[in-house]
Amino acid sequence: MDLSAIFRKKYGSFRRFFLMLVKARLPFLWIALDLAFSFGLIKIGVSATEYSARLYAGEVDFAAVVLPFLLVTVVNLVLSSLSGLVTSVCSAFMNRNLRRMVWRKAVRLPLGFYEANTPKEMISRITTDTASITQLVMQVFLPIITGAYSAWVLLTRISTYDRALMWSLLVVLPLNVLITFVLGRLNFGVSDLTNRRTAELTAALAERTNNMMLIKTMGTEEKEMDAGVARMEASYRAGVLNTWVRNLSQPIQAIAGVLKTIVIVMVGRSFYASGAISLPEWIAYYGFAGQLTNLLGAYLGYWASFKSAQGATDRVSQIMDAPSEDAGTGETATELAGDIRLEGVAFGYGDSLLFDGLDMTIPAGQITAIVGPSGSGKSTLLNLIDRLYPLRGGTVSIGGRDTAAYSLSSYRKALGYVTQECVMYAGTLRDNLLQGVGREVSDEELDAACAAAGILEYVRSLPDKYGAPVGEGGASLSGGQRQRLTVARALLKRPDYLLLDEATAAMDIDGKDKVWTSIRQTMAGKTVVFVAHDGQTVRNADHIIVLRDGKVEAAGARDRMLTANAFCKEMLDKTKGREEEA
């Protein structure tokens, strides 16, 4: 077993933890109230211990001992209940504020961040990791403060019995704590290793079971079985090691506890025998010494928990430290008009550039098709027009005006963009159609948009019409239906410019023709830019641009391009062949 896997040195940084607390709007009033209750409970606990000691010593005077003990006990119970309520409310406030802070940041992050982080990771950071930070503050950070105050109160109280007794206790305590520290560190390391191995196994199994079709079609069942068994074996070994460590540490801790009791009793007994303290004080001292020992042991646990939770803090900090999109700065894009012009555009997803000095003009008021072989940058071009990624160089302008001059939020609202994914939420048809519209829309307008997209007949066949649920990700709809609904959603925005990325690829031949006829009518006089791979769709264009290897290979009117350009002719011939076979 690799010991470095157990005794990890780095779990996060102090700086990120405290910066996270500064950024989060912590409920300081509730935190102060929680601390006040905790301090009050500590004071009452001292009194309760002393009254208990007097009872154990045989003092049973009702007015002087029994009644005060009962009153202190009742007050302690009431304050404990109130303190628990305040702690719960404080934790809930903190959880909400942290999640709200991270979610607001996450929505503003650029697409590049999401390409480097999977959706499952983002969900875990917003939910699980923020909860870990809350637990860190409420169950570690605040108890450190109250623990320090409790230690000061207890030692101060013992010093009133005899100052030498207090110093004797301070000398004895570290000897017992040393054993607790070693065992606690070992237990934490093994437990952390077990959790990591279990998490790795769970993630691997979840990924494989979600992609079983790929495994079977690629014939990698044996390979995946071996990989899964290997992770199960690693999880098993970590679990066995965890069992051994925990079972062996229990008798050691029990012996350490007995030794602690003997030492504390002997120290107190010597002071009692010498007459330095009374019997009730000796009994109270024993109770206080036990509380102090528990406090020191808890501090060691706080340290381990603190370092462990810093991993969650680091992961959340990655979101908070990432640069956000500036959605509000710039002019308001009210009415866009004119050609779309790309000049000297440079862009790439990694170190290499996909576009390096790309120049292109997309004419206004026409339907322009972007065609070319796979990997030539067609979809990327639409993404850059919609400003989904920052340019590395050059400009994208509309009507001679750099699009970067407009505020990002208003600019994107002025454009309609139907992506390849046809993203839909698990809501109703109405919810999905009105996504991003930002105004009141009548059923008549919904009908017109759905009719233009060729989906109205289907909607009217549903019992709940626009109130019908679409399922998670539009699971209750076919691919063609999802495409029609996303086209209708884009048309409802009444955009000045409409971008379509394979927006009709999942539709049948008749469906494509009807949708494109409607798009031409609805977007008459406006600019439409679409990506397509088939000749049937390209026939709907007024203007065609051929991209190859990130460069414009050819551009011109549709009829000329379909007869003169080799790539367009080949694409048209393939489409005719498929139509004849059908």
Strand partners, 527: 497
Residue type present at position 95:
N
Fold (topology level) of 3-321 = ABC transporter transmembrane region fold (1.20.1560)
Nearest CA to 81 out of 37, 118, 29 is that of 37
- Cα 374 from Cα 567, distance rounded (Å): 12
Residue type present at position 270:
S
Determine phi and psi for 44, rounding to 5 degrees.
Answer: -65, -35
How do 367-371 and 543-548 pair as beta strands? parallel
- Whole-angstrom CA distances from 576 to 50, 122, 501, 506, 581 are 97, 46, 22, 18, 9
Residue 329's CB is within 10 A of a number of other CB atoms, namely 11
Residues 353 and 550 sit within 8 Å (Cβ to Cβ): yes
The token duo for 29 is 């009033």
Q: Tens place of pLDDT for every residue, the chain, 582 residues?
A: 445 544 444 444 566 667 777 777 778 888 889 999 999 999 998 888 888 888 888 888 888 888 988 998 999 899 889 988 998 998 898 888 888 888 888 888 888 887 777 777 788 788 888 888 888 888 888 888 898 898 899 888 888 888 888 888 777 666 656 666 666 666 666 766 777 788 778 877 877 887 777 777 777 788 888 888 888 888 888 888 878 877 776 677 677 667 777 777 788 788 888 888 888 888 888 888 888 877 876 776 676 667 667 667 777 877 887 788 877 788 888 878 899 999 999 998 877 888 988 899 999 989 898 988 888 888 889 889 988 888 889 999 998 889 888 888 888 888 888 887 777 777 888 888 888 777 788 888 888 888 888 888 888 898 888 888 888 777 787 877 888 888 888 888 888 888 888 877 767 777 777 888 888 888 888 888 988 877 777 888 889 898 988 888 888 888 888 888 888 888 877 766 555 444
Q: How many residues does the chain have?
A: 582
- Whole-angstrom CA distances from 395 to 43, 102, 493, 570 are 69, 32, 26, 32
Query: Using CA atoms in the order 65, 71, 73, 75, what is the torsion angle rounded to 10 degrees?
Result: -150
Domain boundaries along the sequence of the chain: 3-321, 340-581
The token duo for 520 is 């031409």
Output the DSSP codes for 543-561. EEEEEETTEEEEEEEHHHH
Same fold, 3-321 and 340-581: no
Residue found by looking up tokens 């292109």 in the block: 360
Angle ∠(486,492,493) on CA atoms, nearest 5: 100
Neighbour-count burial of 82, counting CB atoms closer than 10 A to its CB (0-12 exposed, 13-18 middle, 19+ buried): middle
- Cα 559 from Cα 366, distance rounded (Å): 14
Residues 6+ apart with CB under 8 A from 539: 558, 562
The CATH code for residues 340-581 is 3.40.50.300
Q: Which H/E stretch holds residue 494?
A: none
Q: Which H/E stretch holds residue 268?
A: helix 221-273
